Amino acid sequence: MESDDNKRWRETKASLEAEPLTLGPYFSFIARKTPRRLLHLLSYYKFASRMIGANKRVVDVGCSEGFGTTIVAEASKSCLGVDLDADAIATATQTVGSDRLRFEVRDIIAKPLPECDAIVTLDTIEHIPRENEDAYVRALADALSADGICIIGTPNETSDKYASPWTRAGHINLFSADRLRELGERHFRNVFSFSANDEVVHTGFAPMAHYLIALCAGPKRT
């Protein structure tokens, strides 16, 4: 006769097997080749989620396949992930999309975002040409409600020499903590600066940080 413990385990396992998840190529590559980097990225999304709070309309700009977007979506009222990569958006929609978590292909400079309470954009602004960085942040600010916040995360320029060749090739616009703050202050009334080393987010000495996070609050209206 089967024990109660074995029966409960068998039922739990059956419920888990009913919801398999096939990872997309980006997520699979990171999980296989640089799993520590995945831990770091997800920790930044967790930080963003805690700063945003619950029941907010959230947009993740540069969401890729949505593996980090799910963290900020968990407590949100609604969440939209946008990216220029149509293949990544298709993967995100198929794997983690839901009624509350949607994904779409969008160039936010050319097509304004819908109004929202919070925006997260991690590992994206370093891919935006410097001549377009103000237009990019302006598009973020314009989408936010009056008391909305925007969380921008990007590798520190001081860490570039330690990056892999394929990473460096795509990082065309690196920031120092001071320059990231200055960019944020052109479009927001307040900018709060954080740094990160590995998965630890802190307020320590920025030039020694691997990663920079700017929490921008109070969008300025043009």
Domain boundaries, the chain: 4-219
The CATH code of domain 4-219 reads 3.40.50.150
* Percent helix / strand / coil, the chain, rounded to 5: 45, 25, 30
| pTM score | 0.91
Helix (H, G, I), strand (E, B) or coil at 214: strand
Average pLDDT of the residues of the chain? 92
Neighbours of 173 (CB within 10 A): 17
Would the pLDDT of 2 be above 60? no
Instruction: Give per-residue pLDDT as tens, 179-209.
Output: 999 999 999 999 999 999 999 999 999 999 9
Highest mean pLDDT among 28-32, 83-87, 95-99: 83-87
Residue 34's pLDDT is what? 87
Q: Which residues pair with 194 in a beta bridge?
A: 213
Encode pLDDT of 138-147 as tens digits: 999 999 999 9
Model confidence at 221, pLDDT cuts 50, 70, 90, reads confident
